[in-house]
């Protein structure tokens, strides 16, 4: 049965992990992720969830223990933010390289220095090449759904990769929204039990984590890359199946588009800022502007073909980013969207806007400013500045 409840994004993620009946949770506190693991601690303390909760001494150990538990064939979950994710950096690559289907929620937060606890995508964007699947969710509802979907995708034999569910710190993690939650029976229809093929077991000894010489390393990386690409099909299928079973889904699973078919200008977004962009798009449409919206739900695997298809008729693509690749082209998404569109015969101008860093509010006016700038590019038929900061103080 589907029940509608008022719940924080953090609560929605924790509830999804509980419904997935995880065996092991290993986590370390960091703001703004804490409510997720606090909620899970309570579930375990109250006997609502039968899991081992390892209260570790660092995020590095949090993920290391997940790696060990996943290698035994357990369903495992962790959550972190910012500095914690940065401390996990080394283990992120190991988890992906060992093909362990770990699910981790990242409550996105800025990286120090200066220290800042508020929403920013720089933490997870810095890990975009670690080999993890990365979803950026727009709402608490999507955080709930995507956490459940993440287990199914991660554990799919075609995929076998860890998944990061990125939800905006505070904006989603700490805000109570109405969320349609599933019960155990509903989840059972969707998420099968985890039964991996290769695990550490004295009855069938295997060696995991062997080192690879230059004769083999490249092939390992090729296989990982192939698995990430193949994951696209799985993500699309899982999104469809979820929609069929429960009645709601997110675009094609990889991207979600709004009125892009006839749009001259398409705004590209990630995460909760999309809701604000939707309002701006509606406003501009009412003013007769042909503007559309494309939300990147999956950042890894990167939906290049889907973006090409959605953007093929547009003249300007304006990429809004809540992270900054210092000394390069603004947000990480700008470079990647541009790369995806570069080989189109009729390629649109692609321009980037960095905003909302360190938790600064993103307002409808910000997207109106971005749209104005994009329309300037359109009228001049020229990009004068690859990217710009929006809302910076003089």
Partner 1 sequence: MALVKQLGKEELFAQGHRGCAGCGETIATRLLGKAIGKDMIVITATGCLEIISSVYPQTAWRVPWFHVAFENAAAVASGVEAALKAQMRKGKRLPEKIHVIGLAGDGGTYDIGLQALSGALEREHDFLFVCFDNEAYMNTGIQRSGSTPYGAWTTTTPPGKCSIGEDHWKKNLPAIVAAHNIPYVATACITYPLDLVSKLRKGAAVNGPAYVQVLTPCPTGWRFDSNLTIEVGRLAVQTGYYPLYEIEDGKLHVTIKIPERKPVIEFLKVQGRFRHLKEKEIANFQRFVDAQCKQLGIP
Q: Is 80 in the site for partner 1 (CB under 8 A)?
A: no
Binding residues among 97-116 for partner 1 as defined by CB under 8 A: 98
Burial 69-99 (b: 16+ CB within 10 A, else e): bbbebbbbbbbbbbbbbbbbeebbbbbbbbb
Binding residues among 279-298 for partner 1 as defined by CB under 8 A: none
Q: How far is the CB of 73 from partner 1 (least distance, A)?
A: 7
Long-range contacts of residues 49-53, Cβ cutoff 8 Å, at least 24 apart? 49/18, 49/21, 49/22, 50/21, 51/21, 51/22, 51/23, 51/24, 51/25, 52/23, 52/24, 52/25, 53/24, 53/25, 53/26, 53/27
Nearer to partner 1, 70 or 276 (CB): 70
| DSSP designation for 357 | G
Return the closest-CA partner of residue 172 out of 216, 229, 106.
Answer: 106
Q: Is 209 in the site for partner 1 (CB under 8 A)?
A: yes
Q: Is 225 in the site for partner 1 (CB under 8 A)?
A: no
Q: Which of 31, 33, 39, 74 binds partner 1 (CB under 8 A)?
A: 74
Candidates 113-121, 209-217, 232-240, 271-279 — which segment interacts with partner 1 by CB under 8 A?
209-217
Q: How far is the CB of 309 from partner 1 (least distance, A)?
A: 40
Q: Is 67 in the site for partner 1 (CB under 8 A)?
A: yes
Q: Is 142 helix (H, G, I), strand (E, B) or coil?
A: helix
**Other C-beta atoms lying within 10 Å of the C-beta of residue 4:** 10
Q: Taking the CA atoms of the chain, what radius of gyration do you get in angstroms?
A: 21
Candidates 202-210, 230-238, 243-251, 293-301 — which segment interacts with partner 1 by CB under 8 A?
202-210
Is there a contact between 135 and 164 (Cβ–Cβ < 8 Å)?
Answer: yes
Nearer to partner 1, 105 or 263 (CB): 105
Q: How far is the CB of 216 from partner 1 (least distance, A)?
A: 6
Q: Is 48 in the site for partner 1 (CB under 8 A)?
A: no
Q: Which residues bind partner 1 (CB under 8 A)?
A: 23-24, 26, 50-52, 54-58, 60-61, 64-74, 76, 90-91, 94, 98, 200-202, 204-213, 216
């Amino acid at each position: 049965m589907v029940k509608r409840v008022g719940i924080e994004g953090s609560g929605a993620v924790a509830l999804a992990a509980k419904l997935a009946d995880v065996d092991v949770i290993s986590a370390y506190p960091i703001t703004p992720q804490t409510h997720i693991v606090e909620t899970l601690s309570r579930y375990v303390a109250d006997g609502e969830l039968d899991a081992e909760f390892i209260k570790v001494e660092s995020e590095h150990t949090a993920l290391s223990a997940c790696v060990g538990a996943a290698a035994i064939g357990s369903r495992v979950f962790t959550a972190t933010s910012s500095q914690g994710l940065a401390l996990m950096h080394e283990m992120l690559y190991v988890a992906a390289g060992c093909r362990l289907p770990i699910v981790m929620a990242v409550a996105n937060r800025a990286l120090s220095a200066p220290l800042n606890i508020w929403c920013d995508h720089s933490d997870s964007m810095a890990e975009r090449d670690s080999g993890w699947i990365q979803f950026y969710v727009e709402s608490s509802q999507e955080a709930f759904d995507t956490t459940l979907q993440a287990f199914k995708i991660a554990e799919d034999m075609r995929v076998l990769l860890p998944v990061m569910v990125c939800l905006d710190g505070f904006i989603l993690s700490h805000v109570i929204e109405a969320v349609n939650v599933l019960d155990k029976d509903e989840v059972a229809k969707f998420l099968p039990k985890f039964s991996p093929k290769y695990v550490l077991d004295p009855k069938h000894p295997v060696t995991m984590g062997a080192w690879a010489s230059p004769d083999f390393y490249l092939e390992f990386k090729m296989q990982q890359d192939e698995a990430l690409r193949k994951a696209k099909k799985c993500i699309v299928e899982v999104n469809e199946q979820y929609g069929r079973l429960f009645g709601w889904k997110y675009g094609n699973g990889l991207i979600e588009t709004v009125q892009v078919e006839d749009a001259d200008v398409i705004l590209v977004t990630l995460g909760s800022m999309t809701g604000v962009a939707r309002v701006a798009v509606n406003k501009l449409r009412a003013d007769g502007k042909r503007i559309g919206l494309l939300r990147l739900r999956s950042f890894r695997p990167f939906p290049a073909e889907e973006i090409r298809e959605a953007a093929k008729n547009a003249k300007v693509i304006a990429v809004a980013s809540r992270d900054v690749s210092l000394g390069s082209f603004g947000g990480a998404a700008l470079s990647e969207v541009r790369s995806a569109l570069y080989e189109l015969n009729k390629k649109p101008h692609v321009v980037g806007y960095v905003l909302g860093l360190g938790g600064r509010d993103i307002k409808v006016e910000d997207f109106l400013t971005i749209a104005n700038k994009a329309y300037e590019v359109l009228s001049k038929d020229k990009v004068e500045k690859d990217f710009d900061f929006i809302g910076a103080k003089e």
